[in-house]
Structure 1
Amino acid sequence: MIVKNEEANLQKCLKSVQNIVNEMIVMDTGSTDRTVEIAQSFGAQVPYFKWCDNFSTARNAALKYVTGDWILVLDADETLEPKIIPQIRQIMNDENALVINFIRHEIGAAQSPYSLVCRLFRNHPKLYFNRPYHTLIDDSAIKLIKEESHWKVIDIPAIGILHYGYQPEFIKALDKYERARKAMEGFWKQNPHDSYVCSKLGALYLQIGQTEKGLKLLKQGLKANTADFKVIYELHYSLGNAYVKQQKIEQAVKHYQKAIAQPILPQLKLGAYNNLGGLLQAVGDIQNAKKAYEFTINIDPNFATGYYNLGMLLKEMGNLPEAVKAYQKAISINPEYAAAYQNLAVVFFKLGYLAESQEAFKQAIILHEIQNPEQAEKLRQGLKELGMLE
């Protein structure tokens, strides 16, 4: 791994692998906190690398210190999921296995909570990272497989990494958007037809409000891409998001449907199914919206957002008892789901369960106070006007 000022996260990360790996290489790029001390306390080798605004260069420098047969790559805001270890070890015994991909759970990412990542690969001299941001070994792996056809890339359809870096407080603290934009723009100017960077940079432009720039780049990525289904999915998914921002519903639906049609793991399609459901609900296609939400929870029974959206739809349909069940399921998965508590309270109120409604509203206010104080105050005032809160 490569790190800088990660004292808040590093211990949790290294603890998740300390009884699994044979050696730890923690490449420091200029920490001024306790990062180096924490890494060394786990027995890690901590070389120094002078930062040069290129993640691939730093990661490739770290590879030079590795002595083991296999390399696991983690970031400080990630942990390894122990349940996947038996599967990993079994595949590593395959003498033709070159790269092992598994699912990363994006904690805090309500819309697209899963991604497929390549983080475990053989210590092979022809495998290396490229791209300055969102670094990959994929290109070198593809090239090697063309040269030596016995090698295999194996996907494990199970969660292998928990990633906390997309929670709002992490993004704000690390200024990820700005750092990512600068790194990717430099690479894109030299590689304008790289569909992967078009996908990532285009999606980033949407996040920071530059929708037209994002649209242009995403369309360019589709023209350039003819092979990688994961990238094609992301391009169509982001185009759907862009057209939603522009209120062009028909185009958005088309791109979400094209994203869903890609032959990739179902878990990776949750965002497209969920957003498609929202669009269909907005235009009154209730039955197909319901199917889309049901797809999400069939794919992932722990997808709290799917249950919440299903609850909203059931409430709109007038099926209040089933809406209660959906909200309660969302809350059981995510006990800090303020909006689910608030809407559960509304349904309880409509059903005449006033005590239950009042209790759910109180819990919603407590959670909103932490997550969105303005919303908490708005809800509190509304309840006072109704006489439900003193």
Structure 2
Amino acid sequence: MESRVETRLFLWEEAHRLVSDEVIRQKLLDGAFDEARKLALEQIKGVSWRAQSWVFLGEACLRLGNGKIARRCFERAWLLDPMAPWVNAVMKACDEVSAGKRDREVESALRVPKTTVSALVLFRDDARTIKRCIEALRPAVDEIIAVDTGSTDGSDVIASAFGAQVYRFEWTGDFAAARNFGLSKVTSQWVIAIDSDEILYAEDVDAIRTIAGVFESVRKESPVILRIVQMNLTGETVTPATSQSRMFPTGEDIEWRGLIHETPTLTKETARPAVRALVRIRVYHDGYDPKHVDLEKKFRRNLELLTEALEREPNNPVYEFYIGRESLFLKDYTKSIEYLERAEQHAKEIAGFSLLPDIRRRLAQAYMLAGKNEHMANKLEDMVKEHPEYPDGWFLRGEKKLREAGVLLQEAAQDFAKAQEAAQKYRGITEYDTAIGLWKAPAQLGEIARMRGNLVEARRWYQRVLKQEPNLKTIRERLEKLEQEACAIAQDVQEATKNTKDE
């Protein structure tokens, strides 16, 4: 199995990696599991923050029959690769083998240095969520610094009552200034920023200190800025929508920048670029749930701050992108396209600008909603060509083709129906294919119904054809296959219903 972690790996990391991935992978394929275990441990000594190294070690331990320690290795890998697709299957496999013997070497590799972490929470009139936010954080961190930017609903009293150190900060329309004020109050080795409408997952309480410990060695050689997973809660639906740069070591040259959509930023150039790893610290966020938030008011407030920020920093593609995105949410497609096109142009002038795929994604969506289908098609081609690793480009292009296919199927059905009708009425002297009216058009209408998933309608068309021409082998085979598929679906439904009742 392969880890798909998005951590930016640099040459200096490769220099620390004592064993190559290819060597360990081959040992596993050859069944040399004890050797693979030893080599994975050697690799982890140099790069303990790489998810793939822990995947290798976990697989070796699992194959050696040590399910308990294998599970711990996979859990470490999952911390470092939160989007890993293998988690459920692998954890189940670990539970299905014996616990095995104790492995002190692996246990030693799993230990991390003790570190202290502060949570930094901004809030204003968040009495609805501030209690749950702080209660969830309390067992996960060493202190909670809560910055009140002007509450009048008693949020500050609630925050203080549940253990936060509350500081008042006069709101200046600058989120970065408020965060940096809070940062000045932090006394721990690491800080993680949490919004007051975000609730830490109970399963990730231990993750914050563990992750800080894992990356403690990295910070000695390169700046570290960690991204957490924001799980957007809308109604009953939870979606891992975005990763947010929120966690970093204190005492480094890192501060928050940006009037809005602020991000941790290096304050001076360093010999080595920052490691910006995505880690498994998940927070529920309902800040975009219309049940709790006036979204139009929120987006318009954002636009005011973004416009001011862009005036201070003209041609900044980050602010141009967010203005385009918020305008898209507000259905102002003309403005959205204008700013997204500007953002794309300026982003292309910056080598390795990370937001460029997302800029193009939003631009393609804006083109579609504005009815500029040719522009949308061209932008999607740019995405899959220049960002082949970015899933949204392929998905949006697939959606476009599916819509086109649906239109073509509808038009084809109309043509076949007209062909059948014309064949029944045609009395001209020019020779024509008489089978069109008898069975060819109905057979094609049945095929279209099948492609659309309407099995009942397809079956009726095929039966109608066979009634007219019972010796058509191809149509009979299609009908038999369709009926087999229908029976298989019915059987699956019965089994699923039975399993649900048993649960």
TM-score (norm 1): 0.66
Q: CA deviation at 1:115?
A: 1.5
Show the counterpart of 1:212: 334
Aligned residues of 1:101 and 1:117 also touching (Cα < 8 A): yes
After superposition, the Cα gap between the structure-2 partners of 1:274 and 1:161, relative to the gap in structure 1 and judged at 3 Å, is: farther
Q: CA deviation at 1:186?
A: 0.6
Q: CA deviation at 1:171?
A: 3.3
Does 2:441 match 1:318? no
Whole-angstrom distance in 2 between the partners of 1:173 and 1:317: 39
Candidates 110, 117, 138, aligned match of 1:18: 138
Show the counterpart of 1:120: 247
After superposition, the Cα gap between the structure-2 partners of 1:79 and 1:189, relative to the gap in structure 1 and judged at 3 Å, is: same
Does 2:254 match 1:135? no
Candidates 225, 231, 245, aligned match of 1:105: 231
Q: Which amino acid aligns with 1:255?
A: K
For the aligned residue pairs, the C-alpha RMSD in angstroms reads 3.3
How many residues are matched? 291
Q: CA deviation at 1:228?
A: 4.3
Aligned residues of 1:232 and 1:259 also touching (Cα < 8 A): no
Show the counterpart of 1:153: 275
Aligned residues of 1:60 and 1:128 also touching (Cα < 8 A): yes
| SS of alignment partner, residue 74 of structure 1 | strand
Aligned residues of 1:234 and 1:259 also touching (Cα < 8 A): no
Does 2:92 match 1:92? no
Aligned residues of 1:106 and 1:113 also touching (Cα < 8 A): yes
Show the counterpart of 2:160: 40
| Structure ID, larger Rg | 2
Q: Which amino acid aligns with 1:281?
A: L
Does 2:361 match 1:237? yes
Q: Which amino acid aligns with 1:147?
A: T
Deviation sequence 1:331-376 (CA, Å, 0-9, x none):
xxxxxxxxxxxxxxxxxxx99x9xx9xxxxxxxxxxxxxxxxxxxx
Show the counterpart of 1:367: none
Q: CA deviation at 1:119?
A: 0.6
Q: CA deviation at 1:81?
A: 3.1
Structure 2: runs of 5+ lacking an equivalent: 1-120, 409-447, 456-485, 494-503
Show the counterpart of 2:150: 30
Show the counterpart of 1:307: none
Candidates 405, 414, 425, aligned match of 1:284: 405
Show the counterpart of 1:81: 201
| SS of alignment partner, residue 359 of structure 2 | helix
Does 2:171 match 1:51? yes
Deviation sequence 1:19-59 (CA, Å, 0-9, x none):
01111111111111121121112211111011111111111
Q: CA deviation at 1:274?
A: 4.7
Aligned residues of 2:149 and 2:168 also touching (Cα < 8 A): yes
Whole-angstrom distance in 2 between the partners of 1:45 and 1:260: 48
Identity of counterpart residues, as a percentage? 20
Structure 1: runs of 5+ lacking an equivalent: 288-313, 322-349, 357-390
Aligned residues of 1:188 and 1:194 also touching (Cα < 8 A): yes
Candidates 144, 148, 164, aligned match of 2:286: 164
Whole-angstrom distance in 2 between the partners of 1:124 and 1:182: 33
Show the counterpart of 2:438: none
Q: CA deviation at 1:126?
A: 2.3
After superposition, the Cα gap between the structure-2 partners of 1:243 and 1:121, relative to the gap in structure 1 and judged at 3 Å, is: same
Whole-angstrom distance in 2 between the partners of 1:286 and 1:18: 55
Moved more, 252-261 or 228-237: 252-261
TM-score (norm 2): 0.52
Whole-angstrom distance in 2 between the partners of 1:260 and 1:180: 31
Q: CA deviation at 1:214?
A: 1.5
Write the mapping of 1:172-211 to structure 2, written as runs, cut at 5 A: 172=294, 175-211=297-333
Deviation sequence 1:263-300 (CA, Å, 0-9, x none):
6986xx45x5554343222211799xxxxxxxxxxxxx
| SS of alignment partner, residue 116 of structure 1 | strand
Whole-angstrom distance in 2 between the partners of 1:93 and 1:72: 14
Whole-angstrom distance in 2 between the partners of 1:6 and 1:259: 39
Q: CA deviation at 1:175?
A: 2.5
After superposition, the Cα gap between the structure-2 partners of 1:157 and 1:255, relative to the gap in structure 1 and judged at 3 Å, is: farther
Aligned residues of 1:193 and 1:224 also touching (Cα < 8 A): yes
Q: Which amino acid aligns with 1:233?
A: P
After superposition, the Cα gap between the structure-2 partners of 1:315 and 1:182, relative to the gap in structure 1 and judged at 3 Å, is: farther
Moved more, 183-192 or 273-282: 273-282
Whole-angstrom distance in 2 between the partners of 1:78 and 1:125: 26
After superposition, the Cα gap between the structure-2 partners of 1:273 and 1:31, relative to the gap in structure 1 and judged at 3 Å, is: farther
Whole-angstrom distance in 1 between the partners of 2:353 and 2:238: 20
Candidates 375, 378, 386, aligned match of 1:251: 375
Whole-angstrom distance in 2 between the partners of 1:176 and 1:119: 21
Q: CA deviation at 1:157?
A: 5.6
Deviation sequence 1:52-110 (CA, Å, 0-9, x none):
11111111111111111101001011122354544624433324252112332223398
Aligned residues of 2:225 and 2:275 also touching (Cα < 8 A): yes
Whole-angstrom distance in 2 between the partners of 1:214 and 1:11: 37
Whole-angstrom distance in 2 between the partners of 1:284 and 1:160: 38
Q: CA deviation at 1:136?
A: 0.9
Aligned residues of 1:280 and 1:286 also touching (Cα < 8 A): no
Whole-angstrom distance in 1 between the partners of 2:137 and 2:352: 31
Aligned residues of 1:108 and 1:164 also touching (Cα < 8 A): yes
Whole-angstrom distance in 2 between the partners of 1:264 and 1:161: 29
Moved more, 232-241 or 118-127: 118-127
